[in-house]
Amino acid sequence: MVNPDDELGAELRRLFDDERLAVPPAPGAGDAIVSGARRRRRRRTALAASGGVLTAALLIGVGLGVVRQDTDVHQAAQPPVTLPLTTTSAPGPVVVPPSFPDTSTPPTLAPSPTAAPPAPFTTSPTTRPSSPSAGRTTVRPQPAAAVLGPTGYGKLRLGMTFDEAKATGMLAGADNAPVECTTYRLTEGAANIGSVTISPTGGLVVFTAAGARTPEKVGTGSTVADLRNAYPDLTAGAGNYSAATGSGDHYTFYVNSADTVVHWELVAPPGC
Amino acid sequence: MVEGGDTVASTAPAIAWGGGSAAGRGSAVSDELADFGEFVQASLPGLLRYGHALTGNPHDAADLVQSVLEKIGSRWAHVQRKTADPLAYVRRAMANAHISRWRRLKRETLVAELPEQRTPEPVDPFEHEPLWQALRELPPRQRAVIVLRYYEGLSEAEIATSLGVSAGTVKSQASKAIATLRTKIGSVSGGRDEW
């Protein structure tokens, strides 16, 4: 096509051939995609409606992950990959949820009662009616709006040792103390909190939110403008924003290309 | 097939879906989705890589791959009837989705706001590649043309068909892109580009 670009063309081919271009898929990414395809299909057949609004539902929980390279976190309590049919459980913090353009609409994520098998139009993230045994992503009713922060969630607090955290009874699969940073799911399911990360030295260092909101009512689906309103001291990073909780910890919000929060965490320094 | 995904990153558990003899063989839909699951498992690494080339960063690549695959998977039988090469079909869909998404978002640049950073971020592996940086700054359609040409090795006519534009458009977009890239790498590397 453009002729005098042989050298540049060769450079471009070399670049596109570079092994660093590889992006490792997260464990479970394939499942998440198939589940997403199924949901889409159901919606279409059930409603014959275009998927615009509902795509927001995909924001939560389903993740095609990019394996994060900055942490060395092991997953504990990860049940064998069973029942992939309807599980949409995201693989812990290694998730980049989808951000199709129309998802700039904040998902009207009811923070709590995600339990009712959703009527076709709810944007309840996790369940679909036909999950007879979705043990892995069980969504149970939460009594009140789920709030994560400024220091913890429920009885779980940042800085708790593994034993203290285990004693709350909220950790799933907490059989062995972590020998390195390890993520645990909660016994209540992953609707509000995707996972917590416990370091053998720092204790509970990260809460990874799912549907939970901060006390300032921001969370997945919030826009960067919302974040700024809630946290005037917001600092921007590459693809994320941080805000101090006021107690030495911080929230980190990961945003998609539409500047909408797709994922967030409550983090105690120094993390893992 | 259960352990079939040898080409897939070894950390990824085999998609239980792909288990050909698994229960739930009952309906055509589950067959279709099982087949799609196998396709996803086999093609995911390549598509993510392609998405990385197309979007310029791994996160957008993941977004793009996921949203496009979900759409395509939801009508998998239809897509298979329509094309003999679903993988190529997915790549074209990604190129188009990327272009239209950018058009809708009207983002000026990928690196518009990058104040300093406290938390460690994955390092862009191509941080010191002027050509990569220059590519990232190209408008999406120009970038797509370059990727289709030099990543996929498509001809001008094939690119035109893929993107649904005229050959003339492809030609002009390509030459604009090439000119920009030349200028940028010329200026970045400090040397003058003789032409």
pLDDT tens digits, one per residue of B106-146: 444 333 344 444 444 456 778 778 899 999 999 999 999 99
Assess if residue A95 is contained within a domain.
yes
B26-30: long-range contacts, CB 8 A cutoff, minimum separation 24? B28/B77, B29/A41
Q: With beta carbons less than 8 A apart as the criterion, state whether B186 and B192 touch.
A: yes
Q: Give a yes or no: residue A16 inside a domain.
A: no
Mean pLDDT along residues A153-160: 91
User: Whose structure tokens read 């950073």?
Assistant: B117
Residue A9 within a domain: no
How much is the mean pLDDT over chain A?
70
Q: Is A239 on the interface with B (CB under 8 A)?
A: yes
pLDDT tens-digit readout, A19-51: 889 988 888 889 999 999 999 888 877 766 444
**Which residue from A102, A75, A69 is spatially nearest to A91, judged by alpha carbons?**
A75
Q: Per residue in A132-146, pLDDT tens?
A: 443 333 334 444 569
* Contact (CB, 8 A) for A142 and A112: yes
Check: CB of residue A77 under 8 Å from CB of residue A172. Answer: yes
The CATH architecture that domain B127-195 belongs to is Orthogonal Bundle (1.10)
* pLDDT value of position A133: 41
Residues of A in contact with B29 (CB under 8 A): 41
Q: What percent of chain A has pLDDT over 90?
A: 17
Residue A4 in domain = no
Q: Which of B109, B150, B152 best probes binding to A when mutated, by most A CB atoms within 10 angstroms? A: B150
What average pLDDT score do residues A94-118 get? 39
* A174 assigned to some structural domain: yes
Q: Which residue segment(s) compose the domain that A152 sits in?
A: 22-267
Give the burial string for B2-19 (b: 16+ CB within 10 Å, else e). eeebeebbeebbbbbbbb
Instruction: Give A162-217 as a DSSP string.
Output: HHHHHHTT-BTT--S--SS-EEE-BTT-SSSEEEEEEETTTEEEEEEESS-B-TTS
Highest mean pLDDT among A13-17, A102-106, A233-237: A13-17
Q: What is the pLDDT of residue A148?
A: 93
Structure ipTM: 0.71
Two structure tokens written together for A229: 């309103």
- Predicted confidence at residue A75, as pLDDT, reads 56
Contacts with B67 from chain A: Cβ below 8 Å: 55, 98-100
Answer whether A259's CB lies under 8 Å from A223's CB. yes
The full set of domain ranges for chain B reads 26-108, 127-195
- A2 occurs within a structural domain: no
Instruction: For the domain made up of B26-108, give the CATH fold.
Output: Rna Polymerase Sigma Factor; Chain: A (1.10.1740)
* Token pair recorded at residue A95: 């998730």
Residue of B nearest to A17 (CA): B151
Report yes or no: A56 at the B interface, CB cutoff 8 Å: no
To the nearest whole Å, the CA of B84 is away from the closest chain A CA by: 20
Nearest by CB to A257, which of B60, B149, B181? B60
What is the count of structural domains for chain A? 1
